[in-house]
Amino acid sequence: MSTLADEARMAANGAADRLGVRVLELSEVDDQRAAAELLQRVWNADSPDQLVNAGFMRAFSHSGNYVVGAYRGGQLLGAAVAFIGADHLHSHIAGVEPGRQGSGVGFAMKLHQRAWALDRGLDTVCWTYDPLVRRNAYFNLCKLGARATAYLPDFYGPMDDGINSGGPSDRMYVRWDLTSPSANAAARGECREVDPAGGVVVLGRGGDGSPAPVAGAVGRRLLVAAPADVEALRGADPTLASRWRYALRDAITAAMDRGYSVAGVTRDGWYVLEDA
């Protein structure tokens, strides 16, 4: 009889095979250096030292942690680094070569990570993501079936890489229960969509693309908008991007303080919060 870890490994291998990708643990210095340089490109950083360098990857890998690369035809397309916490695997950083996002490589790496963790008796993976980046929100909460459990204002403090410079490093903390129905569905390629019907808007999008808070909005289900493309907005109008940071922070933390939890996010970037 197959175990869940066996099933997870089969699902991960199947997803990788369909994409023509191999996800491999990296134990050689040259491979780790290439992975660090890939992540540097993803974050448009000046140096891998601003993220995670090859030396850290070497130490993580040697001590039994998770350091992988995703390859197609010998070309490195993605990399991920995670370390084992007290009761879970913490996924610290993962990225896909610029221009290859949305190609399924990131999904293949996460399914590999799930199988790797289950193989070691770990049934939870946790990580953070920028709640303004709605494609990441959808990937994490819907495509993977993870749960957003906390909003963490300025979690990392000031950051100086090319993506995160110039503002507070707010993060959403997510827990991925690897044995849950949503994680099992994700492994089958089924996305957990959330229903926004009947939701009351507490933060919308103005006609000019600015955040539009709605004072006094109440209901069992609340809707909080993320900007259409905050990554482009940071380059075109950093002041407006900053307004979105604080508006979304205020809307979500106020709702959570009142007992709401994040049920998910829609494909078009609406967080759905429900009264617990």
pTM (global) more than 0.75 = yes
Tens of pLDDT, residues 155-186: 999 777 656 666 899 999 999 999 999 999 99
Which two three-digit tokens encode residue 71? 């390859």
Model pLDDT, residue 103? 83
Instruction: Decide: 37 and 50 in contact? Cβ < 8 Å.
Output: no
The C-alpha atoms of residue 64 and residue 6 are separated, in whole angstroms, by 20
| Regions of the chain short of the pLDDT cut 70 | 1-2, 161-166
Instruction: Decide: 145 and 118 in contact? Cβ < 8 Å.
Output: no
Model pLDDT, residue 1? 47
Tens of pLDDT, residues 185-206: 999 999 989 999 999 999 999 9
The string over 72-98, giving b where at least 16 C-beta atoms fall within 10 Å of a residue's C-beta and e elsewhere, is beeebbbbbbbbbeeebbbbbebbbbe
Domains of the chain (ranges; CATH) run 4-187 (3.40.630.30), 200-275 (no CATH)
To the nearest whole percent, how much of the chain has pLDDT over 70?
Answer: 97
